[in-house]
Chain A
Amino acid sequence: MSDLYSAYSRLAANPVPSAFEAEGHALLRALLPAGAEISADNLGQLLIRRRGEGRRLLFVAHADASGIMASHIDKDGFVRFGLLGRLSPAALCDREVRFLSGLRGIIRAEKEAPTLSSELYIDIGARSRADAARRVKPGDPALLCDAPRRLGNRLTANYIDPALPGALLCALAEEMPGDADVTLCFSAAAEVEHGAVRAAAGAVSPELAILLDCSPAGDVPGADGAALGKGPVLRLMDKGCICSPVALDALRNAAEKAGISLQEELCPDRTSDAGQIQLSAAGIPTAILALPVRGLGSALQSADLRDARAALQVLRAMI
């Protein structure tokens, strides 16, 4: 059982890396209503089904957070790595990361203004190669590990994306009015853009799909785009998807019914899983409902809880 904020704060404090989403299943199950019909697929994607007589809908939020994957332990015990997601070398530089084992390290650059992951390394404070090799191996993932914070309605965390959209699904699961046949999906590997969501979307084959995502906020110097605290965003298109008018209208109608005003945007620089969902199975009309987030792509993000509360009302009105 959970409300929106408590689900968000648990998820923000316990992120999981791409391909390791199963590590987060116990927490998700604890946040979802007892007795919910939950299944997991081969790729660690969690599906929650609420059967109904009405149209079949799919709501998707990805479970994975961007981080790094250890690839090599060097002769002095420094850990080399590759990117596991969308955080750039610049965003990762000088940040602390934590491996699944709890081991922490600091990412450093071997030169100024790094542009490649091969120009970075992790300092885990090892005495030697052997010492490091006892504690970490190539193939081990790590994520940023700063504590999330809240000040009134302002949330800051490493991973607003995916914790806040994920919390929306958890809160939606608590109370689903209407008679639509609803599946909620915590999808995998969205941050690495490998298309894992296709397997889940294909299995559900809904009439319509709504992807929950985060959008880069424009209400800061030097940026254009949606503003924090002005409501959820209807994304008409992004780099991978031209959203289906049918699905967009369904969202607009739901927003009107709920009395919520939507911001609208084109997001040509961001790729989401919406395109992958739209091209799954025999084709699934898809639209994106997004939350404005400042600092998307950086190590520290911020958002307004009221936008998420408003988005929840829109989703409830849709089913």
Chain B
Amino acid sequence: MKELLRTLCALPGISGYEDAVRDFIRAELAPFADEMHTDAAGNLVVFKRGKNRPQNRVLFAAHMDEVGFLITHIREDGLLKFGTVGGFDPRVLIGRRILIGEKAVPGVISLKAIHLFEKEERENVPKLSSLSVDIGATSRAEAEAVVSPGDWAVFDTEYTEYGDGRVLAKALDDRAGCLALMELCKGELPYDTWFGFTVGEELGLGAAFLADTLCPDRAIICEGTTAADLPGTPDHRKVCRQGEGAVLVYMDNRTVYHPAMFRALCAAAEGIGAPHQVKEYISGGTDAGAIHISARGVRCGGIAVAVRSIHSSASTASLADIRAMCDIARACTESEEIYNV
């Protein structure tokens, strides 16, 4: 599992530019899938036959895209201006290393040095528009030789295992979810199952096209979710806790998950004794937001991994929590409640 996670997290794939991730997953799953295609939006749709045909069409979904950047402008002095793809707190960007485009040109997100700030500026959160990327070019011409406006960029983060079974990487949201789906697809399944590796989730897109075409009856979304479980946060605002198991979700900002699906997920987790917790704050959103209202309506459930510093260069998760998400997803593939009721 760890090697696959390392590879998945290292692949560059911001919303709209998921090709490298999709190509990898497609190649990995080709020997195991019965049908596979990429739809017009770029979603990778995989069908795997199980031992039996179920009553319900069941979809597992995870998104391939990560949050990142697009270069928008090259300045005369060789610094680059950029836009963000996905939600970011500007404070987590300053001083971070990024890699731009296919050539992986290294850059650093920079703000002017602190002694150059006025007092008021120092006390406020810097605006995204005041950040630049420094690739070490001293002129526009030098910069244009290696980058262009429109180039995508991702964080330059080395996958690192540390502490008590923790992992630090970029894009744990949602390569951990992709990993869960891939594990299921590589194994034997009791029932026919669909897998959707979606595009553009960080912008709210992608999944709607997949669901409107596939028309699933049930969907289980495997995601990363914010853990705010650091000291100083009141208990009821911690959302979920890293290391306390996979997070089962009953509601977020875009979806009230179907109560029967939530109960089925809890039962699946309890049935196998997998460590799990429920999300204890209503926040965030997943592909379920688009999926549950698509086609004729889809009953959705959500399993997530608690990720600290989620949309940053150094997101972290517990490997045991990821394992628990995979195990609970597997238990769901055996659930009569999900497949046949």
Contacts and interface: CB of A to CB of B under 8 A. Distances in A.
Contact of B293 (A20, A137, A196): A196
A81 B236 CA distance: 9
A45 interface: yes
Interface stretch (A1-9, A72-80, A168-176, A214-222): A72-80
A138 interface: yes
For chain A, the bracket of interface size reads 20 to 34
B177 to A, nearest CB: 21
Contact of B280 (A45, A72, A117): A72
A71 B251 CA distance: 9
Interface string A182-205: 000000010010111111101100
Interface string A59-95: 0000000000101101100001011100000000000
B281 interface: yes
Interface residues of B, number: 28
B236 A80 contact: yes
A118 interface: yes
A77 to B, nearest CB: 13
Contact of B296 (A20, A74, A82, A199): A199
B236 to A, nearest CB: 4
A74 B251 contact: no
Contact of B297 (A41, A80, A139): A41
Interface string B17-54: 00000000000000000000000000000000000000
B189 interface: no
B6 interface: no
B297 A196 contact: yes
B321 interface: no
Given A41-B297, A43-B293, A199-B297, A74 B256 contact: no
Contacts of B236: 71-72, 74, 80, 118
A84 B257 CA distance: 12
B250 interface: yes
B298 interface: yes
Given A118-B236, A195-B293, A199-B293, A82 B251 contact: yes
Interface of B: 217, 234-237, 250-251, 254-259, 262, 278-282, 289, 292-299
21 contacts: A19-B256, A41-B296, A42-B297, A45-B297, A69-B256, A71-B279, A71-B282, A72-B280, A84-B256, A118-B237, A138-B278, A194-B292, A195-B293, A197-B293, A198-B293, A199-B294, A199-B297, A200-B297, A202-B295, A202-B296, A203-B296
Interface of A: 18-20, 41-43, 45, 69, 71-72, 74-75, 80, 82-84, 117-118, 137-139, 189, 192, 194-200, 202-203
